């Protein structure tokens, strides 16, 4: 099946060139789910580009009847960051415009301070699907209110960029954001509370369970409004889990492409999409469940003095 390639303008440079986002879209012949997959939000973290390359290659071999819904892929989701270089080294973690971490720019348009009482009252007797549709509309309305003044660019480039990316993902069911460790790491992912049921399908050994967060990372900004609504409904005695999920995969290390991590990423994503019935491949169940490590139990170790570390 053919991929639809669309360019989205990000910024007109002083030279007159236009910096653009490359997006790739596969539309299945039925189904309404939307899957959003991006990589390279941090410039040095290039493994996700290889993962998305393999996914595009694979989806291109399918027929439209093999995909239920729409899959949108953005391999170089941050062209500014990926081009930040100091000689051979890639920085690309912080915006050169304001020093902010590229993955702490995002925000919730509906959060714990929002008043959702009238929304709950109006929707309490509707089906999960109806409530989900209504809430999507509310999120998009809130988002548009928030960004309406940005048409005249009364905002910084970082904010403008953030809004563009957020808008592309806002109506997705499943969001997958692929990162890498800045130094060296095993492959793992981040899992939100109330979404533990599906974490195993990514076939990775470890996940960090998000029991605390600040809400400014891409995955959090997408899912938090939904988790917040679920909690509000729980208080009324109704337990709903919306068909909306968000995952950050951390594959391998920055500035290099570890093929084993690429393969794991591709296999995990295809298996997850099959479990979600977006693809009709046989679903693999992992031999061992993914071990969930609560985020509040993570411990950082710092050197007590300057020096060098060597293997012993
Ligand atoms: Zn990252």
Q: State residue 153's pLDDT score.
A: 67
Distance 160 CA to ligand 1 centre (A): 20
Distance 171 CA to ligand 1 centre (A): 23
| 227 lies in some domain | yes
pLDDT band at 205 (very low <50, low <70, confident <90, very high): very high
Mean pLDDT of 34-50: 97
* Lowest model confidence (mean pLDDT) among 227-231, 241-245, 303-307: 303-307
Distance 231 CA to ligand 1 centre (A): 29
CA 233/CA 229 separation, integer angstroms? 6
Distance 181 CA to ligand 1 centre (A): 7
**Is 213 a residue whose pLDDT tops 80?**
no
Distance 93 CA to ligand 1 centre (A): 7
pLDDT band at 111 (very low <50, low <70, confident <90, very high): confident
Q: State residue 143's pLDDT score.
A: 87
Sheet holding 245-253, edge to edge: 4-12, 18-27, 68-74, 30-39, 174-181, 245-253, 188-192, 206-210, 291-294
**Is 59 a residue whose pLDDT tops 80?**
yes
| 308 lies in some domain | no
Q: State residue 182's pLDDT score.
A: 80
Mean pLDDT of 155-184: 92
| 312 lies in some domain | no
**Is 152 a residue whose pLDDT tops 70?**
no
Distance 213 CA to ligand 1 centre (A): 16
Q: In total, how many domains does the chain have?
A: 1
Distance 179 CA to ligand 1 centre (A): 4
Distance 14 CA to ligand 1 centre (A): 28
Could you give the angle at the alpha carbon of 278 between the alpha carbons of 275 and 284, nearest 5°? 25
* H-assigned helices in 111-155: 117-123, 128-147
pTM given for the model: 0.95
**Is 149 a residue whose pLDDT tops 70?**
no
CA 288/CA 23 separation, integer angstroms? 35
Distance 45 CA to ligand 1 centre (A): 6
Check if the beta carbon of residue 79 is closer than 8 Å to that of residue 19.
yes
**Is 212 a residue whose pLDDT tops 90?**
no
Distance 219 CA to ligand 1 centre (A): 11
Distance 31 CA to ligand 1 centre (A): 31
User: When comparing pLDDT for 286 and 22, which is higher?
Assistant: 22
Task: Name the residue with tokens 């020093």.
Answer: 99
| 77 lies in some domain | yes
| 153 lies in some domain | yes
CA 265/CA 54 separation, integer angstroms? 10
Check if the beta carbon of residue 233 is closer than 8 Å to that of residue 121.
no
**Is 46 a residue whose pLDDT tops 80?**
yes
Arithmetic mean of pLDDT over the chain: 93
Distance 247 CA to ligand 1 centre (A): 13
User: When comparing pLDDT for 90 and 166, which is higher?
Assistant: 166
pLDDT band at 151 (very low <50, low <70, confident <90, very high): low
* Percent composition of the chain: helix, strand, coil (DSSP 3-state, to 5): 35, 25, 40
Distance 28 CA to ligand 1 centre (A): 30
* Lowest model confidence (mean pLDDT) among 233-247, 263-277, 282-296, 298-312: 298-312
List CB contacts of 307: < 8 A, sequence separation 6 or more.
none
| 146 lies in some domain | yes
Backbone angles phi, psi at 50, to 5 degrees: -70, -40
User: Residue 101 sits in a domain of what CATH number?
Assistant: 3.40.630.10
**Is 184 a residue whose pLDDT tops 90?**
no
Could you give the angle at the alpha carbon of 197 between the alpha carbons of 31 and 262, nearest 5°? 75
- Specify burial of residue 236 (Cβ count, 10 A radius: 0-12, 13-18, 19+): exposed
Distance 113 CA to ligand 1 centre (A): 28
- Report pLDDT digits (tens) over 65-106: 999 999 999 999 999 999 988 888 888 999 999 999 999 999
Share of residues in the chain with pLDDT > 90 (%): 80
Mean pLDDT of 101-123: 88
List CB contacts of 39: < 8 A, sequence separation 6 or more.
45, 46, 47, 48, 49, 51, 52, 74, 75, 76, 77, 177, 178, 179
| 113 lies in some domain | yes
| 280 lies in some domain | yes
Mean pLDDT of 11-31: 95
- Helix, coil or strand: residue 291: strand
Residues with CB under 5 A from ligand 1 (ion): 42, 45, 179
Range of the domain at 237: 4-297
Distance 234 CA to ligand 1 centre (A): 33
Mean pLDDT of 15-31: 96
Helix 157-169 and helix 218-235: axis angle, to 10°? 60
Helix (H) or strand (E) run with residue 21 in it? strand 18-27
């Amino acid at each position: 099946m053919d991929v639809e390639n669309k360019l989205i303008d990000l910024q007109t440079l002083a030279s007159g060139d236009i910096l653009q986002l490359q997006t790739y879209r596969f539309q299945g012949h039925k189904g309404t789910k939307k899957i959003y997959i991006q990589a390279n939000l941090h410039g040095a973290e290039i493994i996700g580009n290889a993962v998305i390359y393999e996914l595009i290659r694979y989806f291109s071999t399918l027929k439209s009847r093999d995909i239920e819904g729409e899959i949108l892929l953005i391999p170089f989701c941050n062209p500014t960051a990926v081009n930040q270089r100091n000689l051979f080294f890639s920085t690309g973690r912080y915006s050169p415009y304001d020093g902010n971490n590229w993955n702490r720019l995002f925000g919730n348009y509906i959060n714990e301070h929002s008043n959702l009482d009238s929304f709950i009252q109006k929707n309490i007797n509707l089906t999960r699907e109806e409530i989900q549709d209504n809430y999507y509309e509310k999120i998009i309305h809130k988002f548009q209110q928030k960004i309406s003044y940005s048409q005249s660019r009364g905002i910084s480039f970082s904010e403008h960029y953030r809004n563009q990316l957020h808008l592309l993902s806002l109506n997705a069911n499943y969001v997958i954001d692929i990162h890498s460790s800045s130094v060296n790491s095993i492959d793992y992912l981040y899992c939100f509370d109330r979404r533990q049921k599906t974490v195993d399908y990514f076939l990775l050994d470890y996940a960090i369970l998000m029991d605390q967060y600040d809400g400014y990372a891409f995955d959090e900004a997408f899912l938090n409004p939904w988790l917040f609504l679920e909690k509000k409904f729980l208080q009324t005695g109704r337990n709903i889990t919306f068909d909306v999920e968000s995952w950050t995969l951390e594959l391998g290390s920055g500035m290099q492409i570890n093929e084993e991590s690429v393969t794991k990423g591709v296999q995990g994503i295809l298996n997850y999409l099959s479990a979600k019935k977006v693809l009709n491949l046989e679903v693999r169940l992992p031999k061992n469940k993914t071990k969930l490590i609560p985020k509040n139990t993570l411990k950082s170790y710092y050197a007590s003095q300057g020096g060098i570390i060597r293997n012993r």
